Amino acid sequence: MFDFRYHALSLVAVFLALAIGILLGATIGDSLVSEAGKGLSSSLHGDVVNARNDARQARAELSQRDKIISDEFPTVVQSVLSGQRVAIVSTGSLPSNIESETRQSVEIAGGAIDSVSSFDIPNQLDDLETAAQGRVPSPGTDPELVKQFGRRIGRSIVSAGDLTQQLHRALPDALRGDFQGATSVVYFRQPPPDKEDPKQKELREAFEDGLASGLESTGVQTVGVEEQGTDPSQIGWYGDHKMSSVDSVDLPGGRLALVFVLNGEKGKYGIKGTADAPLPKLPIGSGTAIGSLGG
């Protein structure tokens, strides 16, 4: 039979061993965690540094590419659009830089801007209807008639029809230019609002569909454009309406692509995931540096 003191000493020894084990375990554990943390921190720091260096190098390469394109742009596009007249058409508000970038690119390439037409539907529908009296049946608020109205306007913009001449005289702020006829069209579609009255949306979409259909029916090249930051992108809408597109007309590469697409190249060009390539295949003699960027 065990003596009580022996039993007590045994218990003390057990608890002491447990305490020592816990203390050692905590110390070793903290050390391991600390070492692992230091290793992870060092690894993450290295990854961040590498990522920053990669981003810096990518920006430098893009900047160099844009500079090359800007410097060579006048030489590469010289006379590409000689004798051509380009109509700029927008649904929604037309950003001033979209107009200026398009105008500058076209004129450097030897072309001319025939007209600039901006349509805000349905807000502008009554004014257009009033201005067009006697030329087409009143569309009212019937989506199908609104679509037909848009189609007639699209055809008239390209063919220098009497309808657009009449609209131009009545609404000179919305329709500007000579309206002598266009050999190609640049189309800008402002992203629709997130929240829109269903009836207004129906009328807007009917007019846009008709306008795009009218332009397409003339057989001229129509190019949908947007800037690199346009959100949401309208490239899908352009494709659905049989237009080629440039998704970064605010960049030198986008402006270069625009000139050659206006001259007849088909496809989707730019820097976004929807693009077929950054640039169309440029003609031989466009320069080695720029020609290689075209793929």
Give the domain CATH number at 157. 3.40.50
Token pair belonging to 38: 């230091």
pLDDT at 174 exceeding the cut of 60: yes
Same domain, 235 and 94: yes
User: Does one domain contain both 161 and 217?
Assistant: yes
- Whether residues 71 and 159 share a domain: the answer is no
Mean pLDDT within 188-193? 96
User: 87 and 157 in contact (C-beta within 8 Å)?
Assistant: yes
Last residue of some domain: 57, 76, 95?
Answer: 76
pLDDT computed for residue 134 by the predictor: 74
Structural domain boundaries enclosing 194:
80-293
Domain edge (last residue) among 48, 76, 104: 76
| Same domain? 5 vs 37 | yes
Burial of 109 (0-12, 13-18, 19+ CB in 10 A): buried
pLDDT of residue 138 exceeding 50: yes
232 shares a domain with 140: yes
Question: Which span out of 130-144, 160-174, 275-289 was modeled with the highest average pLDDT?
Answer: 160-174
251 or 8: which leads in pLDDT: 251
Taking only the tens place, the pLDDT of each residue in 98-125 is 999 999 999 999 999 999 999 999 999 9
Question: Per this entry, what is the length of the chain?
Answer: 295
Residues 162 and 240 both lie in one domain: yes
Based on the domain organization, do 115 and 234 belong to the same domain?
yes
Sheet holding 184-189, edge to edge: 175-177, 112-119, 85-91, 184-189, 221-225, 244-246, 268-269
**Cα(207)–Cα(176) distance, rounded to whole angstroms?**
20
pLDDT at 16 over 80: no
Statement to judge: residues 161 and 289 lie in one domain:
yes
Q: Is it the case that residue 290 has pLDDT exceeding 90?
A: no
Q: Are residues 51 and 162 in the same domain?
A: no
Q: What are phi and psi of 221, to 5 degrees?
A: -70, 125
Q: What is the pLDDT of residues 39-83, one digit of tens each?
A: 766 776 676 666 676 556 545 545 556 667 777 899 999 999 999
Domain boundary among 76, 101, 126: 76
Q: Would the pLDDT of 207 be above 70?
A: yes
Whether cis (ω within 30° of 0) applies to the bond prior to 172 is no
**244 and 103 in a common domain:** yes
Q: Could you tell me if 216 and 88 lie in one domain?
A: yes
132 in the same domain as 30: no
How many domains are contained in the chain?
2
Per-residue pLDDT tens digits for 229-287: 999 999 999 999 999 999 999 999 999 999 999 999 999 999 999 999 999 987 755 55
Coarse DSSP helix, strand, coil percentages of the chain, rounded to the nearest 5 percent: 55, 10, 35
Give the whole-angstrom CA distance, residue 255 versus residue 87.
16
Instruction: Assign 14 a pLDDT band (cuts: 50, 70, 90).
Output: very low
pLDDT greater than 90 at residue 15: no
> 231, 242, 143, 229: which is closest to 192 by C-alpha?
231
Dihedral sign for Cα atoms in the order 43, 44, 49, 51: positive
